[in-house]
Structure 1
Amino acid sequence: MPKTKLAVNTTGENLLFLTDEQLRHAIEAMFFAYKGFTADPDRLLEEFGYGRAHHRAIHFIQRAPGTTVNNLLNILGVTKQSLNRVLRTLIEDGMVESRVGTRDKRERHLHLTEEGAALERQLSEAQRSRMRTAFRTAGPEAVSGFRRVLEEMMDPEQRRQFRGTRDANT
């Protein structure tokens, strides 16, 4: 396989040129990494009859307790019907509670119950453990490089959302 070429442009920046084959390998690595990243939570979710949509909802409700249904719709980028199906299950199972807004009675604010918070901790710990091991093995430069690559793969609006949630919670 050809080596990655590093070129210097007229402004002195390093430009990285990758072959199509190297990009294919990176894409495959993403597929396999995602499979590994979701494997542990998937097994736990299956015990509850939940899927990844439930996991994403639980994750973002935990990150922003009291978030509105509309905000969660915006973050997840799913249809209202799809989110309502997920939320209905989580509420019926006692994982999430929906509270009427104090200023606007039409708003529904979402909170994890104790049981929902416990499930979120289990799901997150499985993923944190896997990421912690990978980051520790790869080293500090790889951590910042990985985050940068992920952010650059996001659409601009997703990047703004991500940076906003990260900054709000740090």
Structure 2
Amino acid sequence: MVAGVIESARPRVVVLSGLFAAVCCVGFAVVNVAFESSGRFADGPLADYAAGLTVMNWLVVLLKLLGAAVAVYSLTANPKHVEVLGVLLWGAFSLLALYALGSVAEAAAILSGLTGNRDAITLASVAYVAFFTFLAVAFGILAVAHTRRFGLGPRCILLGALGAPLVLAVLLVGVPALLVGLGLMPSF
């Protein structure tokens, strides 16, 4: 069914990048759903924050599913709203790239002795950062391919690359503040 939706003339690296990105986004959304179904935050030191963490967790699920939809939709033959799709692709790329770069910078600070403990850098943590770097590259491939395919200008690139981190920052500050105001989370 997916093969019928995906444009057959797309380069293989673009199609594989889109499918990889979509599967990763859905997989990470499943992790958040598992957190909710297991009651992970209902007990322990975060119990006071359980209602607020539930709201944030479901918001994260929606964002991850949006990422999967954007990745798959970018592979279709004639997507509508190509500029909006371009902004979303560049936004996903920039968020993931910033996350990966931030993680590498943190590892460099730990290794140089500026902060943290060198034992915190494990094979699992390196694999985690490498995985997010590959995911960023996949969205970067999709963003560049979409931009070239539809001749999008720098406006879409800048709106996505600069706008997405700003929107995420507002969400990560604004939503918890709203939850505190609604009494779903204690004040910090």
Structure 2-normalised TM-score?
A: 0.28
Higher RCO (CA < 8 A, seq sep 6+): 2
More strand by share: 1
More helix by share: 2
Larger radius of gyration: 1
